[in-house]
Amino acid sequence: MSTPETQKPEEIRVGVFVCHCGLNIAGTVDVHAVADYAKTIPNVVFVKENRYTCADPGQEEIRKAIKEQKLNRVVVAACSPRMHEPTFRRTVAEAGLNSFLYEMANIREFASWCHQNNPVEATERAKDAVRMAVAKVRLMQPLQTIEVPVTNKALIIGGGIAGMNAALDLADQGFKVYMLENTQSIGGHMAALDKTFPTLDCSICIEGPKMVDCARHPNITIFASSELVKVDGYIGNFKVKIRKNPRYVIPEKCTGCGECKDVCPIEYPNEWDMNLGTRKAISVPFDQTVPLIYSINKDYCIECFKCTEVCGERQAIDFNQKPEEVDIDVGAIIVSTGFDVYEPYDMPLLGYGKYPNVITSMEFERLILAAGPTGGKVIRQSDGKKPHSVAFIQCVGSRDKNKYPYCSNFCCMYTLKHVVQLKEKYKEDVEVYVFYMDIRSPGKGYEEFYDRARERGVNFIRGRVSRIDEDPVTHNLTVHSEDSLLGQPIEIEADMVVLATAAIPKKGSADIARILNLSRDANGFFMEAHPKLKPMDAPTDGVFYAGACAGLKDIPFSVSQGSGAASRAATVISKPTWKIEPIISVIDEAKCKSCGVCVDKCPYGAIRLEKPKPAQIITASCHGCGTCVAECPQHAITQMHFTDAQIMAQIRSALEDKPEEKILAILCNWCSYAGADLAGISRFEYPASVRAIRVMCSGRVNREFILEALRLGAGMVLVGACHLPFDCHYISGNYKMKARTDALKNMLTKLGMSPERFRVEYVSAAEGIHYAEVIKEIDAHMKALGKEKIQAENAKLKPILENMLKRKQQ
């Protein structure tokens, strides 16, 4: 690839398109002023305002202008590039221009939406954004997208109902599918349920056939009792390492006859039964287990080898099995890890774990299930008798600011199911109370189901339970609450209390997020690439979500998301090749001294060095974070589309006017830029003194960027990154940045700069409010320091910085 110097000089003709976005931008920003200002910027030959640039007519305007005005650079001043950059890239490409000769100025999320009460400064910020974009676009070079071959196989992580549906859909389309399940059986939570609402059809009866289909399908390979170790590669070409944990039974030889279970003398509590019942040390968690392979739990096994004896010539038992690692290649990954259920041990007022007759809904589910440990009899633990009055308590942990602030989505409905089941089973023999905050039943047939429960004579009491007391002799419980409809405190005596506890992110989500470079929201669920328009896409290309792992969903929604994710994955793996962005690093072989610093710092091991030859980038492995660029002591590496010259141009342009009143923010694309976008989307107001520059990763931030900004007299400098330790989209770019900036900050402070003027902040994509707070804080610091002090400091710093920058450029 050629560097800018070798290109033939051409006349730069920039076209600027200012979008009104209806009133989204035009309502705050004076778009005409911005357009007028754009005309005054050097190299801008054409300016056009559009009501909606992203709509068809708007795009047509761009195409027309490129042809008619012979534009060779395009700037669209509209929304965030995280939203519509791909749209306009396509537009310019359709007009025959290289799609990398276009830049976006974010004047919606970064101007109109976050400074709604300050239209004057918002307009100023918008103008600066356009100027910065033009400064950058001027230096842009045409780039060719890189095509990589695609492995037409998929990996599905988590074999619940969502994952199974995704697997079956993909397998039926003819793709090879690997299913990874960390428990012994696929099926997920649904396999543990008795009935499903609102139709009251048996859960395992409808799920069981699907489970068997998965096992029998020639295109599906199930890895049960296995875990994800490592994922390398990129969209279309993931290299996955899976660890198969030993089950001490050879899957190929086990016939699932269960003779071993009969001779085994040891029982242990069955976690799958919520520890209400037991299972043998060699067993399957439940009868319908798929794949039907027995496992030995070595924690409890006493190694009598009776199972080996009875297994006889089948020889399926191998006590020396070791964990085994398997490598597979896939083109797309679907994450469907599901959820966990909260256990309210830390809510002592409800007495769970202390009083034997206080149970959770999942335990109730196992009690009322005919195949459960009690054979479908609802009995109390304290005396084994049937309860005559049962109180159900809603929102235990959910919708609770101190625990989990969100609504767990399906608890209302499953409690309605429980009360209907209980009433239909024991009729008048049981009195049922439901303590609720609101009954949420938005779904097909759900409200009718609520009516059905009320017709059965269930007592619904609107109020939050304050505490539960137990009679130490009878073990009966007294529920204290308020009836908020009557406005009176109420006490109910019940034989049994069932807590509808919150559904929480799956344990181990953090590990999955780290391995796949996913981000998680404030509650711990996976974050979508876009909450509305890409609900099944992960921010990492080629990774998709299905089911409750990205936000709680009931069964029908999880099923449809499974199919949706399968279809999204098929868009990747059905193609023979996939285009990847050419935003990669390029080494100038003439400058490279083969020192090897880049090889050490590259998070992906994408740089090869054979001394004394210059270092080489492995194009397909390079993810384009730019960490090596910032680290190279020789300045021999360039990141395409984010070159030093381009970013420097943006910095200079941003600080052209009144630099001491500006905050220069360099934000990483995946977390802090997204967080700043969210601040805009959420309409959190913050001072308009900030000028933001987007880089792919904070690891890309050179020391020179900061030095240059301060040389130009910037009031404050902010570097925004993903949270340590694992949030970085490029594994460890934020660590590299931290090491660099820590040293730099020390040096600058010693040179006489106030330490608060240079700041590194970690903002996740979910922390819009945090970003707004940070900017407010920095602005307050800047105001507190005062213009004079900043100018004085800058005057002192300037000669030193100039010297340093000059030396670097030699």
Residues 375-394: x where in contact with other proteins by CB under 8 A, - otherwise, as a string: ----x-x--x----------
- Separation CA 165–CA 206 (nearest Å): 13
Nearest CA-CA partner of 134 in 4, 26, 39: 39
Segment contacting other proteins by CB under 8 A, of 106-114, 186-194, 366-374, 414-422: 366-374
Choose the stretch contacting other proteins; rule: CB under 8 A; options: 299-307, 386-394, 408-416, 736-744.
299-307
Q: Which of 239, 335, 346 is nearest to 539 (CA)?
A: 335
Q: Of these, 287, 303, 383, 657, which contacts other proteins (CB under 8 A)?
A: 303
Q: Of 499 and 584, which has the nearer Cβ to other proteins?
A: 499
Report the nearest approach of other proteins to the CB of residue 260 (Å).
12
CB of 319 to other proteins, least distance (A): 9
Q: Can you tell me the distance from the alpha carbon of 300 to that of 356, in angstroms, rounded to the nearest whole number?
A: 25
Q: Which two tokens stand for residue 710?
A: 């301060």
The torsion angles phi and psi of 771, rounded to 5 degrees, stand at: -60, -45
Q: Are 766 and 527 in contact (CB under 8 A)?
A: yes
**Does residue 277 interact with other proteins by CB under 8 A?**
yes
Is 459 among the residues that bind other proteins (CB under 8 A)?
no
Residue count, binding to other proteins (CB under 8 A): 34
The tally of CA atoms less than 13 A away on the side-chain side of residue 438 is 8
Q: Is 46 helix (H, G, I), strand (E, B) or coil?
A: strand
Stretch that binds other proteins, among 261-269, 385-393, 472-480, 784-792 (CB under 8 A): 261-269
Note whether 309 binds other proteins by CB under 8 A.
Answer: yes
Nearer to other proteins, 464 or 475 (CB): 475
**Of 118, 374, 634, 754, which lies in the binding site for other proteins, with binding defined by CB under 8 A?**
374
Closer residue to other proteins (CB): 384 or 487:
384
Token pair of 40, please? 């005054």
- For position 315 contacting other proteins by CB under 8 A, the verdict is no
∠ CA 351-357-360 to the nearest 5 degrees? 70
With binding defined as CB under 8 A, does residue 300 bind other proteins? yes
Instruction: Say whether residue 267 binds other proteins (CB under 8 A).
Output: yes
Q: Are the CB atoms for 604 and 697 separated by under 8 Å? A: no
Note whether 302 binds other proteins by CB under 8 A.
yes
Residue 274 CB, nearest distance to other proteins (Å)?
A: 5
- The CA angle 499-502-505, to the nearest 5 degrees, is 150
Is the separation of the CB atoms in 84 and 78 below 8 Å? yes
**306 versus 514: smaller Cβ distance to other proteins:** 306
Pick the piece of the chain touching other proteins (CB under 8 A) from 198-206, 208-216, 266-274, 691-699.
266-274
- Are 776 and 686 in contact by the 8 Å Cβ rule? The answer is yes
CB of 484 to other proteins, least distance (A): 30
Q: Shortest gap between Cβ of 421 and other proteins (angstroms)?
A: 18
CB 188 within 8 A of CB 273: no
* Min separation Cβ 265 and other proteins, Å: 4
Rounded to whole angstroms, the Cα distance separating 636 from 651 reads 21
* Kind of pairing between the strands at 637-639 and 543-545: unpaired
The stretch among 277-285, 577-585, 667-675, 681-689 that binds other proteins (CB under 8 A) is: 277-285
Rounded Cα gap, residues 644 and 94, in angstroms: 29
Instruction: Compute the CA torsion angle 609, 614, 620, 626 (nearest 10 deg).
Output: 100
Cα–Cα distance, 390 to 498 (Å, whole number): 7
Q: Does 268 bind other proteins (CB under 8 A)?
A: yes
Least distance to other proteins, CB of residue 450, Å: 28
269 binds other proteins (CB under 8 A): yes
Binding range to other proteins, per CB under 8 A, among 95-103, 302-310, 444-452, 755-763: 302-310
- The residues, any chain, with a CB within 8 Å of residue 76's CB and separated by 6 or more, are 16, 17, 19, 53, 62, 84, 88, 102, 103, 104, 105
Number of alpha helices (DSSP H) and beta strands (DSSP E) in the chain: 21, 38
In this structure, what token pair is assigned to residue 127?
């103008």
Are the C-beta atoms of 432 and 440 separated by less than 8 Å?
no
| Residue closest to 763 by CA, chosen among 647, 677, 660, 700 | 677
Binding window for other proteins (CB under 8 A); candidates: 104-112, 224-232, 257-265, 747-755: 257-265
Choice between 169 and 363, CB closer to other proteins: 363
Out of 214, 264, 573, 667, name the contact with other proteins by CB under 8 A.
Answer: 264
- Residues ≥6 apart with Cβ < 8 Å to 290: 185, 186, 187, 211, 212, 214, 215, 222
Stretch that binds other proteins, among 1-9, 82-90, 276-284, 330-338 (CB under 8 A): 276-284
In the complex with other proteins, the residue whose CB is nearer, 309 or 325, is 309
| Residue corresponding to tokens 């040179």 | 751
Residue 363 binding other proteins, by CB under 8 A: yes
Q: Which of 414, 671, 367, 722 is nearest to 552 (CA)?
A: 414
Contact between 266 and 280 under an 8 Å Cβ cutoff? The reply is yes
Instruction: Return the residues of window 24-83 that contact other proteins according to CB under 8 A.
Output: none
Residues 648-677 that bind other proteins (CB under 8 A): none
- Tokens at residue 694, please? 């987007």
Q: Nearer Cβ to other proteins, position 392 or 673?
A: 392
Verify binding: residue 278, other proteins, rule CB under 8 A: yes
Per-residue DSSP letter, 254: -
Structure tokens at 445: 């047939």
Q: Which CB sits closer to other proteins, 52 or 300?
A: 300
Phi, psi of 731 (to 5 degrees): 70, -65
Q: Does 305 bind other proteins (CB under 8 A)?
A: yes
Binding other proteins (rule: CB under 8 A), the pick from 4, 149, 353, 445 is 353
Binding range to other proteins, per CB under 8 A, among 15-23, 57-65, 373-381, 586-594: 373-381
Write down the least CB distance from residue 282 to other proteins, Å. 12
Among 105, 290, 330, 362, binds other proteins (CB under 8 A): 362
Kindly tell me which residue out of 304, 370, 724, 792 binds other proteins, with binding defined by CB under 8 A. 304
Nearer residue to other proteins within complex by CB, 46 or 355: 355
Minimum CB–partner distance for residue 420 and other proteins (Å): 23
271 Cβ partners below 8 Å, 6+ apart? 285
211 lies in the binding site for other proteins (CB under 8 A): no
What binding mask, one character per residue, do residues 736-755 give for other proteins by CB under 8 A, x or -?
--------------------
345: tokens are: 């041990």
Contact footprint for other proteins (CB under 8 A):
263-269, 274-278, 281, 299-300, 302-306, 309, 343, 353, 356, 359-360, 362-363, 367, 373-374, 379, 381, 384
